[in-house]
Amino acid sequence: MIGIIDYGMGNLYSVSKALERLNVSYFISDSPEELDRASGLILPGVGSFKDAMAILNETGLAAYIQKAARAEKPLLGICLGMQLLFDSSEENGLTGGLSLLKGTVVHFPVGVMKREQLKVPHMGWNRLRLNRESDLLDGIKEGYSYFVHSYYVKAEADATVIAAADYGVEVPAVVGEGNVFGTQFHPEKSSHTGIGILRNFVTIVEEKVKP
């Protein structure tokens, strides 16, 4: 059973519909007690890092997510949800994150964007470049995924970045360490590549709970 974390800033409809297409059991909740029944968690997100962390901290969801991840419950962050997994973000002033992965979230460099004639936000389809093997990308070749973001992650360790995309700078597109994973793009909007990633995450969850 997958628990989708509802903190008022996630694209719950598209994520839930994608899980339904995969015939995966899920529920949506803002309650740590209810979410604790889930075998795996998805943290979606759209909007401001600062606002999201304020809500997660106020509701106790931040502490719950940290506790669940450190207890090795599989966790997948999507878009802003992926960025929240890291130490901090410079968006609207430096704000601490969940610190489940090492790194910080920064704005696309203005000079590079102007020189390369690229618009911010990074919006649309971009090609993935696979950096290393991961169960999350099992059976997935380099393909295209759908991005919408103005900030990107600068991971502290190269090994954290499973796949990247190029947009003036290298953009970590899929990240992961242990049971904690994230996608900067929206897998639920990324056709076969995205559905494959969601299917693989469900498989990771199922393998985790096998007796």
Among 90, 70, 73, smallest CA distance to 150 is for 90
Catalytic option among 122, 170, 186, 206: 186
72 in active site = no
Catalytic option among 20, 58, 79, 206: 79
91 in active site = no
Rounded Cα distance between 29 and 56, Å, is: 13
> How many residues belong to the chain?
211
Strands 122-127 and 129-130: unpaired
Hey, what are 117's tokens?
């004639």
Catalytic option among 116, 122, 188, 192: 188
149 in active site = no
Cα angle 7, 103, 54 (rounded to 5 degrees) comes to 25
Cα 184 to Cα 1, 36, 60, 164: the distances in Å are 23, 25, 24, 9
Catalytically active residues are 79, 186, 188
